[in-house]
Amino acid sequence: MVGVLIYEDNNNLRESLCSMVTLSKELLLLGEFPNANEVEKHVASLQPDVILMDIEMPGTNGIDAVKKIRSLGKKVHIIMLTVFDDNKHVLDAICSGASGYLLKKHISDHLPEAIKLVIQGEPPMSPGIARMIINSIQQTSSHSLQNDYKLTNREKEILSLLSHGKSFKMIAADLVISIDTVRVHIKNIYEKLQVHTQTEALSKAFKEGLV
């Protein structure tokens, strides 16, 4: 079972999210809150696998909440809930350590799949946001090559495709391999780079000139 925490200040949407999680046989609702003011306490005590986090909330907003969670050293997957995609709030949230994001208007259709993807290591994220992250990193990176982390040629190839906003499915098609094989390579990349998310992998790759 995948333990889920929900932070959403809209009561109706929060109730809807709770219902979707409760009705799923694979998910377990650990808690639901209208704000993230005590997020550190909740995460430490409830130990969730996935957090659904509204970006804009009164008190502690979603971006600050992500920073607090990451300061605890928790590897929990965090999916941001947002009204608009391709904007600075989404970029800030992901650069702060969020695993991906989901548009609120698509929640009813895509929530189970988004959670499944993020658990498998593929963050729900549009190519547009991926490019924004890359551009942001490039502007602050010296691109100095310090360590190749013993990545194989195929791993470097996949890392490069990720940096261009390609999904696991698209990478599999481009390289004529299965999605499961792509996931194995991604897992190996994460282990060699000592990271836990795609955002961290891309950030490290650009900062150290790997792609």
Q: Could you report the per-residue pLDDT of 151-199, keeping only the tens digit for each?
A: 999 999 999 898 877 889 999 999 999 999 999 999 999 999 988 778 7
Q: Say whether pLDDT at 89 is over 70.
A: yes
Q: Topology of 2-124 in CATH?
A: Rossmann fold (3.40.50)
Q: Give residue limits of the domains in the chain.
A: 2-124, 132-207
Give Cα separations from 137 to 88, 91, 182, 192 (angstroms): 14, 11, 24, 20
Put simply, whether the predicted model's pTM sits higher than 0.85 gets the answer no
- Contact (Cβ atoms closer than 8 angstroms) between residue 147 and residue 208: yes
Q: How far apart, in whole angstroms, are the C-alpha atoms of residue 154 and residue 47?
A: 35
pLDDT in the model for residue 6: 98
pLDDT in the model for residue 196: 78
Q: Which residue has the tokens 């991604």?
A: 186
pLDDT in the model for residue 126: 65
Q: Topology of 132-207 in CATH?
A: Arc Repressor Mutant, subunit A (1.10.10)
Q: What confidence category does residue 67 fall into, taking pLDDT thresholds of 50, 70 and 90?
A: very high
Domains 2-124 and 132-207 in one fold: no
